[in-house]
């Protein structure tokens, strides 16, 4: 199993996804992982509400992280694509911390 496949498997854990949905107070979250360079990854967290039996994308939060040669986290950062308020930044940071702590626990 490649590192990318291992990360995708970790990030699709139902307990993690439910924890994130509960934290954000939404119906569902989806995590999309993209490999950018050697051991560098982009992670998109898609926040979804179910309205009239349809999944509606509310917003996306993005994170970037890199692994060391030993497979542990070197860094985990937030990627803001637009201006955000301090309260929005704080909530995104708390969400990112949940993901970062989860990855640190299992890598």
Q: Phi-psi bin for 94: left (phi > 0), alpha (psi -120 to 50), beta?
A: alpha
pLDDT digit of tens for each residue in the chain (107 aa)?
899 999 999 999 999 999 999 999 999 999 999 999 878 999 999 999 999 999 999 999 999 999 998 889 999 999 987 888 899 999 999 999 999 999 999 98
Strand partners of residue 66: 40, 75
Q: In this structure, are residues 69 and 107 in contact, taking their beta carbons and an 8 Å threshold?
A: no
**pLDDT per position as a tens digit, 50-60:** 999 999 999 99
Task: Extract the runs of DSSP E, i.e. beta strands, from the chain.
Answer: 28-37, 40-51, 54-67, 73-79
Per-residue model confidence (pLDDT) at position 38 = 78
Gap between the Cα atoms of 102 and 96, Å rounded: 10
**pLDDT per position as a tens digit, 89-104:** 999 999 999 999 999 9
């Amino acid at each position: 199993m490649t590192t990318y496949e291992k990360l995708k498997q970790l990030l699709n854990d139902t307990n993690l996804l439910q924890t994130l949905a509960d934290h954000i107070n939404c119906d569902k979250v989806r995590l999309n992982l993209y490999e950018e360079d050697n051991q560098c990854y982009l992670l998109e967290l898609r926040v979804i509400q179910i309205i009239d039996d349809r999944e509606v994308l509310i917003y996306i939060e993005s994170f970037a992280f890199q692994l060391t040669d030993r497979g542990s986290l070197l860094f985990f950062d937030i990627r803001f694509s637009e201006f955000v308020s301090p309260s929005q930044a704080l909530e995104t940071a708390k969400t990112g911390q949940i993901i970062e702590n989860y990855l640190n626990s299992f890598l």
